[in-house]
Amino acid sequence: MIQAAIISTGDELTTGRTTDTNAGFIADRLLGLGIDVVAVLTVGDRPERLRWAWSEALRLAEVVIATGGLGPTADDLTTETVAALLGRPLVHDAAVAERIRELFRLFNRPMPENNLKQAAFPEGAVIVPNPLGTAPGYRMEVGSAEDRRHLVVLPGVPREMKPMLTETVLPWLAELAGAARVGHRTFQTFGISESGLDEVIAGIPGEGRWSFRANFPEVSVRVVVRGDDVERRLEAFGREVYARLGQYIYGEGDTSMERVVGALLAARGVTVAFAESCTGGLVSHRLTNVPGSSAYYRGGVNAYANAVKEALLGVPSALLEAEGAVSEAVAGAMAEGARRALGSDLAVGVTGIAGPDGGTAEKPVGTVCFGLAAADRPTVTRRYQLWGNREWVKLLASQIALDWVRRHLLALPLLEIGPRGAGPAEAKRESVAPS
């Protein structure tokens, strides 16, 4: 398996003025080719630090991809440093110089002489064209046949770097990596913790590399398979994953809970409505972010005050008094009221305590109750203890409301949330290092 290192260059990155988005973009594309990224090194615009990063990267990995430091100014040092490190002279490329001159003529601007610095390359470099800027990138091969290293140098501006990577560098790397023999699948899950997933996945036989990504409140699992028979092996992994985790997997690849729920409602011809208290309309907001939601979304009642729960949803005041606004009974009555008022096939009610205030010993912050009302079946209710700050409780509650619709339509069991579910341990970890 080919290993790669990524170098991100620039004082703006080490001082925190700019967030390094290039490394993540490149890493994701390399993973898609089955190339293993062993390190991402970030250094400022200093020759000795650049030299350190390049020496380390070349020691660690067969492929090194660097961005930044290709500008015309004195602080852009990548090319000089790489040439010096490899002991190669700089060679002036007349064609590139002419293109830079032409670009300036085109914009009717005088060209500062230092722009021609961008037409100098280490000897042996192959130009990577830059359709959107003046500085082209380049790639080089160094070392002996037994100890080959491949270097790629690209500009730092993301808008320029991305097409250069996608159009020129990736096809070349794909050939190098034999990308035809690599494949991957990403499963999107909700309602089970990363460690819970890990435990289940660990028992799946077969050779594949699994990785997890927690993006509150969801966790995605990716499997990468290399070698022969990639398609068949991915199929086999898929079957095992669904057999063990089926109810938690709401989709694959680039999707979201609201899109999946929207597609399900559309396919079944079922309409939905929501009665929201603590989520303040978030459930409706998320579902109406899906294009085409008018086909199944009837509307929502944002019933924050008890008076609104009574007046618009017909929740009996005696019930509110006896059980409290945050109770399974009220969540159920809210769902039934929304279904009645809005004329939907299905309705979900959500009421809870998002915090930071308002919790009691009996109903602490994070207590959220749900109700689902549908035709021809009794209303279902449940109380969950959620976690995190106000924003998290709202987001998690909205996710649960959507997942309830999904589970209802697919006749799956009711969501269970415990320490093994999308558990508190996960929440703590995430709150320290949000992804």
Q: Which residues bind ligand AMP (CB under 6 A)?
A: 8, 10, 12-13, 18, 20-23, 67-71, 76, 155-158
The residue among 68 and 300 lying less far from Mg ion, judged by its C-beta, is 68
Q: Which does 158 bind (CB under 5 to 8 A by kind): ligand AMP, Mg ion, none?
A: ligand AMP
Q: What phi, psi does 415 have (nearest 5°)?
A: -60, 130
How far apart CA 63 and CA 29 sit, in angstroms, is 14
The residue among 31 and 77 lying less far from ligand AMP, judged by its C-beta, is 77
Residue choice 7, 10, 135, 333 for contact with Mg ion (CB under 5 A): 10
b or e along 277-313 (b: 16 or more beta carbons within 10 Å of the residue's beta carbon)? bbbbbbbbebbbebeebeebbbebbbbeebeebbebb
**In angstroms, what CA-CA distances link 2 with 30, 64, 146, 162, 288?**
10, 11, 14, 21, 43
Q: Which does 157 bind (CB under 5 to 8 A by kind): ligand AMP, Mg ion, none?
A: ligand AMP
The residue among 69 and 352 lying less far from ligand AMP, judged by its C-beta, is 69
- Binding segment for Mg ion (CB under 5 A), chosen from 6-14, 108-116, 293-301, 419-427, is 6-14
- The secondary element (H helix, E strand) that includes residue 218 is strand 218-226
Least distance to ligand AMP from the beta carbon of 91, Å? 20
- Coil, helix or strand for 173? helix
Give the residue at shortest CB distance from Mg ion: 10
The residue among 70 and 325 lying less far from ligand AMP, judged by its C-beta, is 70
Side chain identity, residue 280: G
Least distance to ligand AMP from the beta carbon of 166, Å? 16
- Binding segment for Mg ion (CB under 5 A), chosen from 4-12, 178-186, 264-272, 301-309, is 4-12
Decide if 55 contacts 143 (C-beta within 8 A): no
Least distance to ligand AMP from the beta carbon of 16, Å? 12
- Binding segment for Mg ion (CB under 5 A), chosen from 9-17, 158-166, 196-204, 370-378, is 9-17
Give the residue at shortest CB distance from ligand AMP: 156
Q: What phi, psi does 117 have (nearest 5°)?
A: -55, -30
Which positions ≥6 away from 252 have C-beta within 8 Å?
185, 186, 187, 188
Residues of this chain, 67-96, that bind Mg ion according to CB under 5 A: 68
* Contact characters 39-68, Mg ion, x per CB under 5 A: -----------------------------x
- Could you tell me where the DSSP H helices lie in 107-256? 158-164, 170-177, 194-202, 230-245
Alpha carbon distance, N-terminus to C-terminus of the chain: 27
The residue among 22 and 367 lying less far from ligand AMP, judged by its C-beta, is 22
Residues of this chain, 346-385, that bind Mg ion according to CB under 5 A: none
Least distance to ligand AMP from the beta carbon of 42, Å? 8
The residue among 46 and 340 lying less far from ligand AMP, judged by its C-beta, is 46
The residue among 34 and 137 lying less far from ligand AMP, judged by its C-beta, is 137
Q: Which does 196 bind (CB under 5 to 8 A by kind): Mg ion, ligand AMP, none?
A: none
- Residue 289 corresponds to which tokens in the numbers above? 């972010």
> Nearest-CA neighbor of 339 among 289, 287, 376, 383?
376
Least distance to Mg ion from the beta carbon of 92, Å? 22
Tell me, by CB under 5 A, how many residues bind Mg ion. Answer: 2
Q: Phi/psi zone of residue 334: left (φ > 0), alpha (ψ -120 to 50 degrees), beta? A: alpha
The residue among 10 and 388 lying less far from Mg ion, judged by its C-beta, is 10
- Binding segment for Mg ion (CB under 5 A), chosen from 3-11, 14-22, 91-99, 420-428, is 3-11
Give Cα 320 to chain centroid, integer Å: 41
Side chain identity, residue 113: E
Q: Which does 426 bind (CB under 5 to 8 A by kind): Mg ion, ligand AMP, none?
A: none
Q: Which does 414 bind (CB under 5 to 8 A by kind): ligand AMP, Mg ion, none?
A: none
Does 137 help bind Mg ion (rule: CB under 5 A)?
no
Q: What phi, psi does 259 have (nearest 5°)?
A: -65, -40
- Coil, helix or strand for 69? coil
The residue among 66 and 234 lying less far from ligand AMP, judged by its C-beta, is 66
> Nearest-CA neighbor of 71 among 173, 153, 178, 176?
153
Which positions ≥6 away from 290 have C-beta within 8 Å?
258, 259, 262
Burial of 414 (0-12, 13-18, 19+ CB in 10 A): middle
Q: Which does 21 bind (CB under 5 to 8 A by kind): Mg ion, ligand AMP, none?
A: ligand AMP
Least distance to Mg ion from the beta carbon of 75, Å? 6
Interface positions with Mg ion (CB under 5 A): 10, 68
